Amino acid sequence: MRRSVQSLYKIPKNMGVAPRYDVWNAKYEPWVLMRRMGRLAGTGFYIPPEWYNHFRMFPPMQNHFQQEQTLNPQNELDPTQDDRSGQLAAERLALRDELAHKSRLVASEGMRYYNIFWVRKPLDRMEKEYYDLKRRGIAHDVAIRKVLQGFYEALARKKRLSAIQAEEAKLSGKYITMREATVVMGVLTQIQREQLTPHQVALFAKEQRQTVQAGDGLRTEVRSAATTTTAVKDGAAAAAANTVSADSLADFLADAEDGVPAAQTTYT
């Protein structure tokens, strides 16, 4: 009787007990494919496929890795996933380590959600500035202080710019805040729950607009913030319950749709 080829194959010792899931698929991991395709496309003689351009913008997450591949990247005796461990000199590693220890924000800046590795990080830029200062003969401590001070000044400018842009967006009237978006989402949820047709929603919005313009359902009181008498304090405390929020606006719209006159709302 002829023996089959399969019977000659001997299964490795503990393969039936604990298959090595994290080893057999290592060559199919997205990061491995990205690295190989990057080397191939980097030659300039190969046009990469479309998935490569997509994953250049949205790098794949690493969720399959062995524990021994995630050890300290500064120790070159350990196998790691960090490609730079063998390329950086010892003094550059020491400098980056010192900058990251001086400012935790520097270490995490640019690596908050994904480590997009082809984008220059603030730590890289600060390292270059440090070496530029050292080349001009500035002492180590002074150079570190200047580099960190420049980083925080740039960060303050960015924060101020974003605050100004947020204020301009609010004043332009084209954008809404998160609080107003919560109100809108509450109204949309209510409309979805009641299964209103678009025509009913349009009529409902028209009625609401007319009600607000006529001033039937709303009463506005403007008080000066400078007066702090007890009567004003009591009035403000009493009006705190009527302040517009997402729930109160949704109830206001629901009451207006049912035909019930809305409560007198006080805006302070």
The pLDDT profile of the chain, 268 residues, written as one tens digit per residue, is 566 666 677 777 666 665 555 567 778 888 889 999 999 999 999 999 999 999 999 888 766 555 445 545 555 554 544 445 556 788 998 999 999 999 988 888 877 666 666 778 899 999 999 999 999 999 999 999 999 999 999 999 999 999 999 999 989 988 888 888 888 888 888 888 888 888 888 888 888 888 878 876 556 565 655 555 555 556 655 555 455 555 666 666 666 666 555 445 444 4
What backbone phi and psi angles, to 5 degrees, belong to 80? -135, 175
For residue 133, being part of any structural domain is answered with: yes
Which residue in 141, 151, 149 sits closest to 107, CA to CA? 151
- Is the same domain home to 104 and 148? yes
For residue 32, being part of any structural domain is answered with: yes
- Is the same domain home to 118 and 155? yes
For residue 188, being part of any structural domain is answered with: yes
Q: Is 266 left (phi over 0), alpha (psi -120 to 50) or beta?
A: beta
- Is the same domain home to 103 and 161? yes
Instruction: Report the pLDDT value the prediction gives residue 107, as an integer from 0 to 100.
Output: 82
Burial class (CB in 10 A: 0-12, 13-18, 19+), 99: buried
- Is the same domain home to 189 and 164? no
CA 29, 32, 38: angle at the middle one, nearest 5? Answer: 140
For residue 30, being part of any structural domain is answered with: yes
For residue 15, being part of any structural domain is answered with: no
For residue 235, being part of any structural domain is answered with: no
- Is the same domain home to 132 and 150? yes
For residue 11, being part of any structural domain is answered with: no
Instruction: Report the pLDDT value the prediction gives residue 212, as an integer from 0 to 100.
Output: 78
Which residue in 49, 31, 200 sits closest to 117, CA to CA? 31
- Is the same domain home to 97 and 126? yes
Classified as helix, coil or strand, 265 is strand
Which residue in 18, 20, 17 sits closest to 68, CA to CA? 20
Q: Which of 62, 81, 114 is the last residue of a domain?
A: 62
Instruction: Report the pLDDT value the prediction gives residue 254, as an integer from 0 to 100.
Output: 67
When divided into structural domains, the chain yields a total of 3
- Is the same domain home to 58 and 29? yes
Domain residues for the domain of 204 are: 178-211
What are residue 70's DSSP bridge partners?
80
Q: Is the dihedral of CA 107, 110, 114, 119 positive or negative?
A: negative
CA 149, 144, 99: angle at the middle one, nearest 5? Answer: 95
pTM of the model: 0.41
Tokens of 15: 């393969």
For residue 14, being part of any structural domain is answered with: no
What is the 3-state composition of the chain as percent helix, strand, coil, each rounded to the nearest 5?
60, 0, 40
- Is the same domain home to 160 and 115? yes
